[in-house]
């Protein structure tokens, strides 16, 4: 037990989902370009997902973001095949979930995945401890081991002392901690979180984001995190994919999304972002062609921190260094400030 899994990647390939009485009849039309509106108007079928291709990093947090109805839940439910696709592949590790038979699928769901839901979905007549052991109970793990694991994760999410409480005795934030403890007790390498924090008050929500980030440094699971909130996406995501009307309109690192929003839809999300906390100096520096200037700052330093370091040091110039300390670019305080307040032209930063 308690073997720590890391690095199981998820690769979604050419995934389509059509809802309706005869999805297979329209897949060729959709592949040939029929739009969601056309499919709906002419054939009374709903295009849930269209040609989704996402490589989710093993051991990282993949965020899927989009407005309500964009297909986020439909997508995440394909990963443990709560929904069968109309076409496409869902490769987890080296297995295609779509091709699994019922027995394989059951084993896969029990041992490789855990879900955290927006509405917590706790069993009301079970205590915190009994909720947390639930997955291991189903797996037939000996009771002593169930409890040992559950107590460990209950403590780890900050609920020590509440083991014998019932869900209705806990606040929303605490209930979601139980949801997280239950998922972690399963010890599955993949954690699926569908708007898990969306129902929480803003401050509690930020707390939970911190709990997850803190845990993730230790557990290194492959986390798929769904949200409609850009701040949450930027805080949590190693990679972010943005859905609209069942299609991926952009995917990449948070920096790529903030610096180069692919279209007006994404720009409208990105406009309000605190750029100084997202963009790193590497993205705005002048690649080294002259002598390194001023003090060194590491390449992943965000603009806000770099600006403070430079002004505190009283120097208008700094140079950017890579992880081995090698200078890779020069940085002018004006460059930093400009990038914090306006979109930068990224052309010569790559
Ligand atoms: N079982 C279903 N039958 C018909 N349409 C569905 C079904 N499930 C989802 N949809 C439709 O698919 C689209 C995406 O839904 P969903 O994945 O729930 O979006 P999100 O989670 O981003 O809010 C929506 O247009 C929704 O109405
Ligand atoms: Mg949803």
Q: Give the model's pLDDT for residue 298.
A: 96
Grouping H, G, I as helix, E, B as strand and the rest as coil, residue 64 is: strand
Spatial separation of the C-alpha atoms in residues 241 and 251, rounded to whole Å: 4
Q: Give the model's pLDDT for residue 191.
A: 96
Q: How far is the CA of 198 from the centre of ligand 1 (A)?
A: 18
What is the strand order of the sheet 113-117 is part of? Answer: 113-117, 190-194, 222-227, 61-65, 239-244, 247-252
Gap between the terminal Cα atoms of the chain? 45
Q: In CATH, which of 2.130.10.10, 3.40.50.970, 3.10.580.10, 3.40.50.2000 is domain 276-341?
A: 3.10.580.10
Q: Give the model's pLDDT for residue 2.
A: 42
Closest ligand 1 atom to the C-alpha of 67?
Answer: 22
Grouping H, G, I as helix, E, B as strand and the rest as coil, residue 274 is: coil
Which tokens in the block code for residue 238? 């190693």
Q: Which ligand ends up closest to the CA of 243?
A: 1
Residues that place a CB less than 5 A from ion ligand 2 = 72-73
Going from N- to C-terminal start, the domains of the chain cover: 10-270, 276-341
Grouping H, G, I as helix, E, B as strand and the rest as coil, residue 252 is: strand
| Residues within 6 Å of ligand 1 by CB | 19, 46, 48, 66, 68-74
Q: How far is the CA of 66 from the centre of ligand 1 (A)?
A: 12
DSSP output for 6-31: ----EEEEEEEEEESS-GGGGHHHHH
> Which portions of the chain are predicted below pLDDT 50?
1-5, 344-350
Bridge-based pairing state of the strands 286-287 and 317-321? unpaired
Q: In CATH, which of 3.40.50.300, 3.40.1180.10, 3.40.640.10, 3.40.50.1000 is domain 10-270?
A: 3.40.50.300
Q: Which ligand ends up closest to the CA of 50?
A: 1
Spatial separation of the C-alpha atoms in residues 152 and 214, rounded to whole Å: 15
Q: Which ligand ends up closest to the CA of 74?
A: 1
């Amino acid at each position: 037990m308690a073997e720590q899994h890391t690095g199981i990647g998820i690769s979604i390939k050419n995934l389509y989902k059509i809802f309706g009485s005869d999805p297979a009849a329209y897949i060729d039309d959709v592949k040939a370009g029929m739009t969601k509106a056309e499919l709906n108007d002419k054939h009374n079928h709903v295009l849930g997902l269209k040609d989704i291709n996402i490589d989710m990093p093993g051991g990282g947090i993949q965020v899927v973001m989009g407005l309500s109805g964009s297909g986020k839940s439909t997508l995440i439910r394909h990963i443990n095949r709560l929904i069968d696709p109309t076409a496409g592949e869902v490769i987890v590790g080296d297995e295609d979930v779509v091709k699994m038979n019922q027995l394989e699928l059951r084993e896969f769901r029990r041992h490789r995945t855990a879900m955290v839901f927006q509405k917590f979905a706790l069993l009301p007549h079970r205590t915190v401890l009994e909720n947390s052991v639930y997955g291991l109970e189903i797996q037939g793990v000996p009771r002593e081991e169930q409890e040992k694991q559950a107590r460990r994760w209950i403590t780890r999410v900050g609920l020590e002392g509440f083991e014998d409480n019932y869900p209705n005795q806990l606040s929303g934030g605490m209930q979601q901690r139980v949801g997280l403890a239950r998922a972690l007790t399963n010890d599955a390498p993949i954690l699926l979180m569908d708007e898990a924090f969306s129902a929480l008050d803003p401050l509690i929500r930020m707390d939970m984001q911190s709990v997850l980030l803190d845990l993730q440094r230790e557990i290194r699971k492959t986390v798929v995190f769904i949200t409609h909130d850009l701040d949450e996406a930027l805080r949590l995501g190693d990679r972010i994919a943005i859905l609209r009307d069942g299609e991926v309109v952009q995917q990449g690192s948070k920096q790529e999304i903030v610096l180069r929003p692919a279209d007006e839809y994404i720009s409208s999300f990105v406009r309000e972002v605190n750029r100084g906390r997202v963009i790193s100096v590497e993205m705005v520096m002048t690649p080294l062609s002259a002598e390194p200037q001023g003090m060194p700052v590491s390449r992943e330093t965000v603009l806000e921190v770099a600006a403070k370091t430079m002004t505190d040091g009283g120097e208008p110039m700094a140079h950017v260094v890579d992880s081995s300390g090698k200078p890779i670019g020069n940085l002018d305080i004006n460059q930093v400030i400009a990038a914090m307040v306006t979109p930068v032209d990224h052309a010569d930063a790559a």
